C-alpha cells in the first residue's frame, strides 16, 4: 500500500513532525509531499493518506491548505483511509486548538474518505 503524507507548514513545525512520522514508518512505502510544491490532485495516486495541517489565525487552516482547499473536490477519496495530524498551541489558543484538523477531516469525509483514529 502506498501512503501519501501531505502537509502544509508556515514555520516548519509540521514539516518536522512529518519527518518523524516517516522515520517511524520504516517498513512502509511512504512519500512526503509539501502542498506548497505539490498539487492536491496527487492524492489520487495513494491508497492511504496522512494529512498534516497546523491551525493558524485563530481556528483557520494553514495558508497553503487555505489556498488549495477547493482542489480537494477534484480528488476521489472513496476507499481511501485517511489519518490526520497537526501542530497547534493549546495554551494561547485553547478555544481553537487544532481546529484545522477538524475542518479538513469534515471536508475529506464528505468526499468519501474514511478516517482512521478519533
Question: Which residues of this chain interact with ligand FMN, rule CB under 6 A?
Answer: 9-14, 54-59, 62, 87-89, 93, 96-99
- Judged by CB, which is closer to ligand FMN: 56, or 77? 56
Closest separation in Å from C-beta 27 to ligand FMN:
26
Q: Phi/psi at 7 (nearest 5 deg)?
A: -135, 155
Closest separation in Å from C-beta 54 to ligand FMN:
3
> Could you tell me which residues come within 8 angstroms of residue 112 by beta carbon, excluding any fewer than 6 positions away?
76, 77, 78, 79, 80
- Judged by CB, which is closer to ligand FMN: 58, or 114? 58
- What are the Cα distances from residue 58, in Å, to 23, 92, 94, 107? 31, 10, 10, 19
- Judged by CB, which is closer to ligand FMN: 55, or 68? 55
Amino acid at each position: 500500500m502506498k501512503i501519501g503524507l501531505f502537509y502544509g507548514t508556515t514555520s516548519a513545525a509540521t514539516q518536522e513532525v512529518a519527518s518523524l512520522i516517516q522515520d517511524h514508518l520504516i517498513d512502509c512505502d511512504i512519500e512526503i509531499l509539501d502542498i506548497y510544491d505539490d498539487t492536491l490532485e496527487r492524492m489520487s495516486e495513494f491508497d492511504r493518506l496522512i494529512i498534516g495541517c497546523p491551525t493558524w489565525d485563530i481556528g483557520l487552516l494553514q495558508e497553503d491548505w487555505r489556498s488549495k482547499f477547493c482542489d480537494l473536490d477534484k480528488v476521489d477519496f472513496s476507499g481511501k483511509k485517511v489519518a490526520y495530524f497537526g501542530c497547534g498551541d493549546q495554551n494561547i489558543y485553547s478555544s481553537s486548538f487544532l481546529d484545522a484538523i477538524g475542518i479538513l477531516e469534515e471536508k475529506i469525509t464528505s468526499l468519501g474518505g474514511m478516517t482512521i483514529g478519533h
